[in-house]
Amino acid sequence: MYLLLAAHPHGAALQELTQAGHAQPANPEPRTVALSGLAAVVRDLEARRPGGQPPRWIWHRTEDWYPALLASGVEVERCYDLTLCGTILAFSQFSAHTDYARNTDRAPVEDPVLPPKALKPPRPPADQGALFDNPAAAPAPGWTLEELRAEYAAQQAALAAVGTAENRRNRLQLLLAAESAAAIVAAEMQHAGVPWREDLHEQILASHLGPRPPVGQRPVKLDALAAELRALLNSPGLNPDSPQDLMRALHRNGIEVKSTRKWELRESSHPAIEPLLEYKKLSRLHAANGWAWLDAWVDGGRFRPEYVVGGVVSGRWASRGGGALQIPRQVRGAVHADPGHKLIVADASQLEPRVLGALAQDSAMAEAARDQDLYAGIAAKGFGGDRAKAKMALLGAMYGATSGEAGRLMPQLARIYPRAVDFVERAARAGEAGGTVTTRLGRSSPPPSQQWFLSQRSSTAEEQRRAESIARSRGRFTRNFVVQGSAADWAACWLAELRRRLRALRTAGTGGSGGGVRAELAFFLHDEVMVHAPADGVGACIAAIEESAKAAKELLFGPIPVEFPVSMAVVDSYDLAK
């Protein structure tokens, strides 16, 4: 059952479609519902499941509707996010020949890829968690049911026009489903939040920084370090937070650094270096994840960041506010399971090199990937058994290293794994030439920047060099895009499969005593998921995580002999994982 959901002057309008492909309305008269009654209507439709299948909600943007539904206690099984899917279809090489992609404004852009023209109009203000009975939070009108249906029909037509060779149509369809599922997961994770113990966080801050200072003042330990630095560097007015100021002070003391980055400072042995590095570490903690952060982002024992699905061109998620995807190891001890619960932290080990092996169908690398530790497997084949070298070589291949040790190791890697190295080299050359590359499931890299096009018209030798530099830069981007993006494809499928299994556990009953396992997805970080689960449901969740990883591999690559092992830790707090 396919249901369009659009904003309407009197609230919301919904309409059933006969089937996905044709986007024909099943009933001529759409149903209108006041926003205050929408949650009940949605709940009813989810529960009744006409035709046995749960409905698929087709809406402009998941974040317009779903947070408020969740706030009303209503979940949906599945959706189709027109904005996210439209962006994929507009740029995918798989659908590049379709009217849908051709009618999209594909002018080279410097800045983030623009969504398809048809989807640009008014964006309602993001008002997370607001209830429908707050009129200001209602999804903005501007997208009528008819427009929604036309857009959906256009997208379905584009999908139908994708060739079946190499299973491309199915792959793209899978990507659209996974992306829509990701939008649902993101909204649900934001709603649930990461369990966060303020008291533990404050303990961490106090132990490193001292007691909480009055606003605008440095914590005592930071202040003491600053005073020590001023003395050691004979610079009474030094502000260690100012790179320029700091650089001058260092030079005055004969410390000849070209920047004040910590890796460069480490090269020096001056007595001021150690306290300086300590200052930098603590000042970062204070500024990024100190008391102010706690005040702003943690409420009621939960950290609720805003996830931005599709926020990275490669398909990775981004986040807004609170630095959700950069929680430093230092404060992970504050992420703590509720009483009677556990955190299950699952990590897809060495995901990207494994994805590369599968993409390139490199059987030698597949063999190394049968090892739980892929880098050790590779070291066993070359690099004199040196795991660190094997790792550096492989990362260098995926990132496009040309110099340094990683660059020197490349020929050796190419001898052992010619197919894998050739795969990323091809992606790099395509990007240098202004071409587009595509992930396993069909997400394509954006067209070259304005700067790239301009640099093509270079005449002087100087401009020529500059053009080559820009081209190489784009080559490194496309080289990495195929790997990072295909890994994101895999992770989206993993997440979607896991959500489905965790939902099934809730109603499954745990063996006699009734009541299922109420486990929640709490956090997702590129190749890592965290599940917050009741202690007696941990076993079932672990199985679900493993099964989902297997399913994701099959969905992307079929039955190939490459392993995607998941390492798991069952812990009370996040710092104890890994």
- Given the rule CB under 7 A, which residues bind DNA? 239, 241-245, 247, 259-263, 280-281, 284, 287-288, 293, 308, 311-314, 316, 318-323, 325-330, 392, 395-396, 399-404, 406-407, 465-466, 469, 473, 476-477, 480-481, 484, 525-528
Q: How far is the CB of 402 from DNA (least distance, A)?
A: 5
Question: How would you write 414-447 as a 3-class SS string?
Answer: HHHCHHHHHHHHHHHHHHHCCCCCECCCCCECCC
Q: Which of 250, 99, 78, 231 is nearest to 161 (CA)?
A: 99
Q: How far is the CB of 231 from DNA (least distance, A)?
A: 19
Q: Which of 422, 445, 423 is nearest to 435 (CA)?
A: 445
Judged by beta carbon, residue 342 or residue 476, the one nearer DNA is: 476
Judged by beta carbon, residue 153 or residue 288, the one nearer DNA is: 288
Judged by beta carbon, residue 19 or residue 242, the one nearer DNA is: 242
Q: How far is the CB of 349 from DNA (least distance, A)?
A: 10
Q: How far is the CB of 68 from DNA (least distance, A)?
A: 22
Q: How far is the CB of 238 from DNA (least distance, A)?
A: 11
Report the alpha-carbon distance of residue 446 to residue 485 in Å, rounded: 12
Q: How far is the CB of 45 from DNA (least distance, A)?
A: 34
What are the angstrom distances between the C-alpha of 522 and each of 272, 518, 528, 541? Answer: 42, 12, 11, 13
Q: How far is the CB of 378 from DNA (least distance, A)?
A: 14
Judged by beta carbon, residue 61 or residue 286, the one nearer DNA is: 286
Q: Which of 539, 533, 197 is nearest to 341 (CA)?
A: 533
What are the angstrom distances between the C-alpha of 332 and each of 65, 189, 328, 578? Answer: 32, 18, 7, 12
Judged by beta carbon, residue 76 or residue 430, the one nearer DNA is: 430
Judged by beta carbon, residue 403 or residue 513, the one nearer DNA is: 403
If DSSP codes are grouped into helix, strand and coil, which group holds residue 522? strand
The DSSP code sequence of 87-116 is HHHHH-GGGTTSHHHHTS-----SSSPPPP
Report the alpha-carbon distance of residue 78 to residue 88 in Å, rounded: 18
Q: How far is the CB of 572 from DNA (least distance, A)?
A: 18
Q: Give the length of the chain.
A: 578
The DSSP code sequence of 252-264 is HTT---SS--HHH
Judged by beta carbon, residue 204 or residue 406, the one nearer DNA is: 406
Judged by beta carbon, residue 160 or residue 410, the one nearer DNA is: 410
Judged by beta carbon, residue 172 or residue 285, the one nearer DNA is: 285
The pair of three-digit structure tokens given for residue 503, joined into one six-digit string: 């939902």
Which of 479-508 are b and which e, b meaning 16 or more Cβ less than 10 Å from the residue's Cβ? bbbbbbbbbbbbbbbbbbbbbebbeebeee
Q: How far is the CB of 245 from DNA (least distance, A)?
A: 5
Q: How far is the CB of 16 from DNA (least distance, A)?
A: 37
Question: How would you write 470-515 as a 3-class SS string?
Answer: HHHHHHHHHHHHHHHHHHHHHHHHHHHHHHHHHHHHHHHCCCCCCC
CB 357 within 8 A of CB 366: yes
Judged by beta carbon, residue 3 or residue 273, the one nearer DNA is: 273
Judged by beta carbon, residue 104 or residue 283, the one nearer DNA is: 283
Q: Which of 458, 478, 476 is nearest to 466 (CA)?
A: 458
Q: At residue 37, what is the residue type?
A: G
The DSSP code sequence of 111-147 is SSPPPPGGG-S-PPP--TT--TTSGGGSPPS---HHH
CB 348 within 8 A of CB 528: yes
Q: How far is the CB of 406 from DNA (least distance, A)?
A: 3
The pair of three-digit structure tokens given for residue 53, joined into one six-digit string: 């299948």
Judged by beta carbon, residue 311 or residue 447, the one nearer DNA is: 311
Report the alpha-carbon distance of residue 102 to residue 84 in Å, rounded: 17
Q: How far is the CB of 353 from DNA (least distance, A)?
A: 12
